[in-house]
């Protein structure tokens, strides 16, 4: 059985940001070639809708083929890219005092809760975040999508956004392509 096929949907914002990412990193013609290769060229993604996960898998898979960059690495780079836009979208839900570790602690109960409320078909991953030390959290990413590399990229993007990239250590402690991915995030002294 192909593990990329599931009956769930992804928020349209992720697709619109993927389009912008490809256009920014490459160009518009690359995006056109990518959606054609993925077999979804007639589709114009809208941030107000949800789309089958299969569309994302097709886009990432064909992007990996086109660029020669492994899919996990592309997901991680895209995750880093997403952060400023995601934080802008949810800024009203955030405490101005939060930094990388605090954002991770509150993502599930604040941002993902809102995403699920916006559309009943939205299915963001479940994040179980535990503070294991004053300067360390462990994130358990749970999703049948198996896109843990995207989560790792988002964590790295948060550290960059909060100007902590040189002081935050991000270590996946399991394979990034599983349904359960553990990510250790530590603020260095």
Asked whether residue 36 is assigned to any structural domain, the reply reads: yes
Residue 133: strand pairing partners: 136
Distance CA 50, CA 135 (A): 36
Dump pLDDT digits (tens) for 23-70: 999 999 999 999 999 999 878 899 888 899 899 999 999 999 999 999
Asked whether residue 2 is assigned to any structural domain, the reply reads: no
Asked whether residue 159 is assigned to any structural domain, the reply reads: yes
**Are 86 and 168 in a shared domain?**
yes
**Are 165 and 121 in a shared domain?**
yes
Please report, in angstroms and rounded to a whole number, the separation of the first and last CA atoms in the chain: 46
6 has a pLDDT exceeding 60:
no
How many domains does the chain divide into? Answer: 2
The pLDDT of residue 1: 28
Average pLDDT over residues 61-84: 96
β-pairing, 168-172 vs 136-142, is unpaired
Dump pLDDT digits (tens) for 83-131: 999 999 888 988 999 999 999 999 888 777 777 777 676 667 788 899 9
The pLDDT of residue 3: 35
Question: Residue 133 burial (CB < 10 Å; 0-12/13-18/19+)?
Answer: exposed
Distance CA 89, CA 51 (A): 19
Give residue 59's domain range: 9-71
């Amino acid at each position: 059985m192909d593990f990329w096929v599931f009956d769930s949907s992804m928020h349209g914002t992720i697709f619109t940001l993927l389009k912008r990412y490809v256009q920014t990193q490459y160009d518009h013609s690359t995006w056109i070639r990518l959606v054609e290769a993925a077999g979804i060229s007639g589709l114009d993604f809208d941030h107000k809708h949800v789309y089958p996960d299969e569309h994302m898998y097709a886009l990432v898979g064909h992007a990996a083929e086109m660029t020669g960059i492994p899919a996990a690495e592309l997901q991680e780079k895209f995750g880093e890219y997403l952060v400023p836009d995601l934080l802008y979208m949810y800024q009203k839900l955030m405490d101005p005092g939060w930094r990388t570790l605090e954002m991770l602690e509150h993502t599930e109960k604040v941002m993902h809760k809102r995403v699920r409320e916006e559309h009943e078909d939205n299915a963001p991953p479940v994040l179980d975040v535990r503070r294991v030390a004053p300067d360390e959290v462990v994130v358990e990413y749970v999703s049948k999508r198996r896109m843990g590399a995207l989560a790792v990229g988002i964590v790295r993007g948060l550290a960059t956004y909060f100007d902590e990239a040189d002081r935050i250590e991000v270590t996946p402690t399991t394979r990034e392509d599983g349904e359960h991915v553990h990510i250790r995030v530590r603020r260095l002294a």
